[in-house]
Amino acid sequence: MSHDTTDQRDLDAAPEGLAPVPPLTTTTSIRPAMSVLLIGLVLLVGFLILDGIFGSPATAPPPSIVVVNGLATAPDNAVLAGCITPSNPPEDVSQAYLVPVGTVRAGTTRMQSNDPGGYDCTVRLFVKAPKAQVLGFYAAHFESQGWKVISTGMAAGGGGEQELYERASSDTFYWVAGVTIVHSTPSSTTWNLRFYQDDSFV
């Protein structure tokens, strides 16, 4: 007993002389999707190139100005250049070589010694600000950088108000920073800023 399949019946029923038609097959092409992706990439590259040519140039943000006790910190310490040498001070000390904006030298720089363990430099400065602001300016900066107050009051020998700070440095010495008021009015201050290496090791 034989069982004819559906395909066999269809072949048997086909008119004589005509070849059977194979079933239709469908295939999915990725060419359209690839074309869209390629166009997108070309457009993206084109926009990036145009932006690089005609876009606004990148600008660095303006330097921040630190304001301490009502006084802004000068962007450089050029007025203290006479106290800076290739060998001294070490970097962790030189970070404290700061002055308020508008500070000018009011005298010569006195470099008494630059020998290892004997560095001692003083510069007289002037700024249009009351002495309380000047003293507060240095107190805030020194303390934020690890300097410790070791003395406050009147300077020896009848001098003006003085504040002394000390810190251990990477060069194995203790360093002392001194701010001594020389003259002041309600709106201006003249002071000596002194840095020196103590004779004791860390």
- Looking at residue 75, which CATH number applies to its domain? 2.60.120
The confidence score (pLDDT) of residue 34 equals 66
The confidence score (pLDDT) of residue 142 equals 95
Q: Is the pLDDT of residue 62 over 70?
A: no
Segment 70-83, tens digit of pLDDT = 899 999 999 999 99
Same domain, 37 and 95: no
The whole-angstrom separation of Cα 195 and Cα 166 is: 10
Cβ(101)–Cβ(72) below 8 Å: yes
Same domain, 108 and 169: yes
Tell me if 60 is assigned to some domain.
Answer: no
Nearest to 191 by CA among 133, 124, 137, 135: 124
Tell me if 159 is assigned to some domain.
Answer: yes
Average pLDDT over residues 119-144: 96
Name the CA radius of gyration of the chain, rounded. 41
The confidence score (pLDDT) of residue 163 equals 97
Q: Is the pLDDT of residue 61 over 50?
A: no
Bridge pairing between strands 120-127 and 104-113: antiparallel
The confidence score (pLDDT) of residue 21 equals 57
Split at pLDDT 50, 70, 90, the class of 53 is: low
The whole-angstrom separation of Cα 100 and Cα 113 is: 26
Segment 188-197, tens digit of pLDDT = 999 999 999 9
Same domain, 96 and 161: yes
As for how many domains the chain has, the answer is 2
Same domain, 48 and 84: no
Six-digit token string for 9 = 């019946």
Tell me if 1 is assigned to some domain.
Answer: no
The whole-angstrom separation of Cα 128 and Cα 188 is: 4
96 or 156, which is more confident? 96
Segment 83-95, tens digit of pLDDT = 998 889 999 999 9
Tell me if 74 is assigned to some domain.
Answer: yes
Same domain, 170 and 91: yes
The confidence score (pLDDT) of residue 6 equals 46
Same domain, 95 and 45: no
The whole-angstrom separation of Cα 93 and Cα 129 is: 25
Same domain, 173 and 97: yes
Segment 135-187, tens digit of pLDDT = 999 999 999 999 999 999 999 877 799 999 999 999 999 999 999 999 999 99
Same domain, 164 and 192: yes
Average pLDDT over residues 91-111: 95
Same domain, 90 and 184: yes
Cβ(192)–Cβ(177) below 8 Å: no
Tell me if 119 is assigned to some domain.
Answer: yes
16: domain range? 6-54
3 or 114, which is more confident? 114
Same domain, 89 and 179: yes
Same domain, 91 and 164: yes
Q: Is the pLDDT of residue 30 over 90?
A: no
Six-digit token string for 67 = 């304001």
Cβ(108)–Cβ(125) below 8 Å: no
Same domain, 94 and 150: yes
Tell me if 59 is assigned to some domain.
Answer: no
Tell me if 124 is assigned to some domain.
Answer: yes
